Amino acid sequence: MSRAAIRYAKAVLSLAQDKKATEDVQKDMQSIIATIDGSAELRMVLNSPLIKSEVKLASLREVFKSTGDLTQKLFDTLITNKRVDLLDDVAKQYIVLLDQLNNTQLAKVTTAIPLNEALSTLVQAKVKELTGNEATIENVVDESIIGGFILRVGDLQYNASIANKLTSLKRELSN
């Protein structure tokens, strides 16, 4: 993550706080992340030095026409400063900064089957136990872990998967 992306994200967060629009901007940022991650063409347009700034701005305005005023101003600022290639990083950093401000964080939970409400509550309790903070839970389904779960919160990882236990047992038996 570049320092510039962090600075832009802090500026947007500050403006969003002043206008009491942090949640609306967060939704915009999540939309930006999902759209850019899902579109190689959009990434190419934003990163290409051959495409004119006006075309990039028009593309952003068309793709993200449902976003709020603050997000549109972010597009203008990034285009003006020739830093539009940072848009994805700025969006990700905004969410991290907002989570820090709200004492919450993103917890990525990898399970063999989708989480139901009861399991989600248990995972939330485990996150609270490990970090002391609340978390937004993002569930990733990966059948290769067989059972159990892998919890990632920030730089902390808690691996309670069956695949991990089998690997550990295999290592012990081979010693």
Structural domain range at position 116: 103-174
For residue 34, the model assigns a pLDDT of 94
For residue 1, the model assigns a pLDDT of 66
Is the pLDDT assigned to residue 156 strictly greater than 90? no
Least confident of 17-21, 55-59, 89-93, 128-132: 128-132
Query: Residues 107, 95: one domain?
Result: no
Query: Residues 58, 10: one domain?
Result: yes
Is the pLDDT assigned to residue 36 strictly greater than 80? yes
Query: Which one of 100, 124, 141 terminates a domain?
Result: 100
Query: Residues 21, 107: one domain?
Result: no
When pLDDT is averaged across residues 78-101 and rounded to a whole number, the result is 93
Please report which confidence band the pLDDT of residue 2 belongs to, taking 50, 70 and 90 as the band edges. Answer: confident
For residue 107, the model assigns a pLDDT of 86
For residue 93, the model assigns a pLDDT of 94
Query: Residues 12, 76: one domain?
Result: yes
Query: Residues 92, 109: one domain?
Result: no
- Kindly report the three-state secondary structure assignment for every residue of the chain: CCHHHHHHHHHHHHHHHHCCCHHHHHHHHHHHHHHHHHCHHHHHHHHCCCCCHHHHHHHHHHHCCCCCHHHHHHHHHHHHCCCHHHHHHHHHHHHHHHHHHCCEEEEEEEECCCCCHHHHHHHHHHHHHHHCCEEEEEEEECHHHCCEEEEEECCEEEEEEHHHHHHHHHHHHHC
Query: Which one of 72, 100, 128 terminates a domain?
Result: 100
When pLDDT is averaged across residues 98-111 and rounded to a whole number, the result is 87
Query: Residues 95, 143: one domain?
Result: no
Query: Residues 122, 95: one domain?
Result: no
For residue 92, the model assigns a pLDDT of 93
Query: Residues 80, 164: one domain?
Result: no
For residue 138, the model assigns a pLDDT of 87
Q: What is the CATH number of the domain that holds 92?
A: 1.10.520.20
Name the domain count of the chain: 2
